[in-house]
Amino acid sequence: MTIRTRLVVPCYNEAARLRPGDFLDFLAARPDAALLFVDDGSTDGTGRILAELAARAEGRAEVLTLPRNAGKARAVHEGVAAALAGGSELVGYWDADLSTPLDAVASFEETLAALPRVDLVMGARVKLLGRDIQRLATRHYAGRVFATAASLVLGLGVYDTQCGAKLFRSRSGVADAFREPFRSKWIFDVEMLARFVRAVGPAEAASRIYEFPLLRWRHAPGSKLMPHHTLRAAWDLLLIAIGG
């Protein structure tokens, strides 16, 4: 069967958090989907776990190994570039800890099918009644401040740029946003959106991006993001604002 959807999963020292069974169950239920794991120079057992997972996936899970740790931005860029070369209709990236469950992929696909004008579906961690969004309060409020700043820079009212669950049409202008490596290490999602906005214009971009309020999202311990990274993120946001 033709691979319609290919997901990139960046990994760095994820041995303690990876759940191979969940990825294999996803592939078993989705014969039209494939996974591309990017091992970003891990120094724990991540490489071994990914190799074993790929061996059990009957050719629908690949591992791209970077020679040294280059950061999530580079891992996503390299993975998406490789996934686009594979010719799949839909390409996206998903956090390895599965904070966003893989069953959300189907909802993203359904959104793209129902809205032909939309090129990019982004998960949004909105705590609404009836939805199971378990996020640290400090992260939530810091995220609201950052989202406001990112919205001003992008000229779009974006609620959640940093959720690690995104899916887009490979033939769209979004794919062009991945042609060059990202300069930003921590907020490459904003840089990707900024490239798209600059390519098509703010009004056009607003009609071609859809934020999907997730049904479930759970904070997974072991995040690589540290408090001092906030300063670097602010500097990167300034560079994006001036087009640097």
Same domain assignment for residues 82 and 126:
no
Q: What is the pLDDT of residue 224?
A: 58
Same domain assignment for residues 146 and 201:
yes
Q: Out of 97, 129, 153, pick the residue that ends a domain.
A: 97
Q: What is the pLDDT of residue 107?
A: 98
Kindly report the number of other CB atoms within 10 A of residue 109's CB atom: 20
Q: What is the pLDDT of residues 135-177, one digit of tens each?
A: 888 877 787 888 888 888 898 999 999 999 999 999 878 888 9
The answer to whether 6 and 86 have CB atoms below 8 angstroms apart is: yes
Q: Please determine, for residue 227, whether its predicted confidence score (pLDDT) is greater than 60.
A: no
Q: Please determine, for residue 240, whether its predicted confidence score (pLDDT) is greater than 90.
A: no
Question: Rounded to an integer, what is the distance from CA 180 to the centroid of its chain?
Answer: 17
Q: What is the pLDDT of residue 150?
A: 87
Question: Higher-confidence residue: 233 or 96?
Answer: 96
Q: Out of 97, 116, 140, pick the residue that ends a domain.
A: 97
Res. 3 pLDDT band, cuts 50 70 90: very high
Same domain assignment for residues 139 and 157:
yes
Same domain assignment for residues 118 and 190:
yes
Q: Which helix (H) or strand (E) holds 194?
A: helix 188-200
Domain around 89: 1-97
Dihedral over Cα of 166, 230, 196, 206: its sign:
positive
Q: What is the pLDDT of residues 121-140, one digit of tens each?
A: 999 999 899 999 998 888 77
Amino acid identity of residue 11, one-letter, is C
Same domain assignment for residues 169 and 144:
yes
Q: Please determine, for residue 92, whether its predicted confidence score (pLDDT) is greater than 80.
A: yes
Dihedral (Cα; 71, 16, 139, 244), 10-degree rounding: 10
In terms of DSSP bridges, do strands 132-134 and 216-218 run parallel, antiparallel, or are they unpaired? parallel
Same domain assignment for residues 175 and 225:
yes
Tell me what the mean pLDDT of segment 100-113 comes to.
98
Same domain assignment for residues 113 and 181:
yes
Same domain assignment for residues 128 and 240:
yes
Same domain assignment for residues 124 and 38:
no
What average pLDDT is seen over the chain? 91
**DSSP class of residue 166?**
E
Same domain assignment for residues 124 and 241:
yes
d(CA 185, CA 240): 12
Number of domains in the chain: 2
Q: Please determine, for residue 198, whether its predicted confidence score (pLDDT) is greater than 70.
A: yes
Provide the whole-model pTM.
Answer: 0.91
d(CA 170, CA 197): 17
Q: What is the pLDDT of residues 75-90, one digit of tens each?
A: 999 999 999 998 899 9
Q: What is the pLDDT of residues 19-50, one digit of tens each?
A: 999 999 999 999 999 999 999 999 999 999 99
Kindly report the number of other CB atoms within 10 A of residue 44's CB atom: 12
Q: Please determine, for residue 234, whether its predicted confidence score (pLDDT) is greater than 80.
A: no
Q: Out of 63, 97, 131, pick the residue that ends a domain.
A: 97
Q: What is the pLDDT of residue 200?
A: 87
Same domain assignment for residues 166 and 236:
yes
CATH code of residue 75? 3.90.550.10
| Residue where the block lists tokens 């996974």 | 35
Same domain assignment for residues 58 and 77:
yes
